[in-house]
Structure 1
């Protein structure tokens, strides 16, 4: 797709889905390239992302950009219509802060849950809940983190909305309870009912099966 937009992704990856969601919300046409990151990465992926050799990679006019948060910023700056970041400087900074929090604290906690066994997993689940609590408070009773429409932080938080529930089922655990996280649960329902999100999100059963396979739970 010379001169256009390509997205190199992996269907179970919430990070590559972030990129697709941002492009879809802005109405940007792109070509999606599925990568078999678990078995055989393509030569193109390694060429475009030689440092990390992982998805997602966005290629625009032949120039590659990697790392999902960096790509989201690039998309926002390149196609300024239908902004996903707040226009107020302070609110924009807060969105970036919470995005970094999700990719740091929450992703790390979720990784620990998925990598734990036996009694240790209970401690990891509690740690994950603690990591989610500030986001529950930040969301308050808003429809989305971005207000009335999906924004930057909602896109970044997509892994919380759909990958945590799939992890719960795959591992037989409970993290996002309605009693403890009513705002996040309502937010997940709002996301799940969005037409653009519905078009992109993998089926939960497929995600659960994939996670069980990767975690050796099958």
Structure 2
């Protein structure tokens, strides 16, 4: 579910998407993002979500439209790659690596191969225990070279902009709390279409309540005649 906060009126559901329980949360991002863009008639500038959505293409969606994705880091049990501000990685020895060639990674993103600076562009003669690895080519790294790949690693998670956008996650938390009260966690139907229809109905009820509050607020703002 994607939610937005309307100033002075509260939280509403922008769009929703139901998938089987065995699917990871992040797999819902692309259909939700597409539906959100359709509902807004524009691509969202910024995106915020929990650590389950820490994937390069989530950051990429925001980066391509001048925004940022404020998501907690999820290391996925992989060692973090040390990188300079221009995204160039450093080897285990701390040396800045040398770009070699770009290629299309099997995970669907554009990657950049970097090689050992002790071998490239010329052999320096400096000793390193990793020089004999990779058939004598030394250590190499293949960082994600998409805009979202760089943002994921280098995003300043202490900046005022990051913190301001990240706090908007409470919008989804408020909606989830209301949906839970309406029974979304324990549907009394079993097939996928019925569950999806029930979820849609729950989110419609939540929005109707929000619109009802809006009407009430607007009436209170109108001058008495």
**TM-score with structure 1 setting the length:** 0.22
Larger radius of gyration: 2
Judging by fraction of residues, say which structure has more helix.
Answer: 1
Higher strand share: 2
Of the two structures, which has the highest relative contact order with CA contacts closer than 8 Å and spacing of 6 or more?
Answer: 2
